[in-house]
Structure 1
């Protein structure tokens, strides 16, 4: 289970890096057209949308794993 969570976190970081790449990329030096900007914005939006979707799936998987008893909560216990 830890392996799946680590892979999900890496996927989140990869999609965030992809969005940053498309946001920061300027092109090949030729004049930027509105079509180039629209394409870059579309790719950045898609990368960020994938990141959000992976984050939601990871959160739900952690909740379900705790509910099914596959993982046990540890750490700080309130009232102790």
Structure 2
């Protein structure tokens, strides 16, 4: 699958009617390879990741124990 343009991806996440500000903050952190989102509760981060997967913006491509490798997708 071709690489996703991160700027276009973040714009799509922001424009989606079912995403919220926290989803966009988490998406931006993921693009920067940062699992910690300043000022956002870890439970909210988990929920946002699950929402982005459900909406088709992320896909789990590898699971190693508790670690998940995610790829950006355009729904």
TM-score, length of structure 1 as denominator length? 0.34
* Larger helix share, 1 or 2: 1
TM-score, length of structure 2 as denominator length? 0.36
Considering Cα pairs closer than 8 Å and 6+ residues apart, tell me whether 1 or 2 has the greater RCO.
1
